[in-house]
Amino acid sequence: MDEGGDPRWRAGSGYRGVLNELLELGTDAIAAVQDSTVLENGAQWHALNTALNKDHGPTAYLFKCRHCATLGAYQDNH
Number of domains making up the chain: 1
Residue 53, domain extent: 7-62
Does residue 16 have a pLDDT over 70? Answer: no
Could you tell me if residue 72 is inside a domain? Answer: no
∠ CA 24-69-47, nearest 5°, is 40
Check whether 3 has a pLDDT greater than 70: no
Pick the closest to residue 33 from 12, 7, 11, 54 (CA basis): 54
pLDDT above 70 for 62: yes
Phi and psi for 61 in degrees, rounded to 5? -115, 120
pLDDT band at 75 (very low <50, low <70, confident <90, very high): confident
37 contact partners, CB below 8 Å, separation of at least 6? 45, 48, 75
State in Å, rounded, how far the first CA of the chain is from the last one: 18
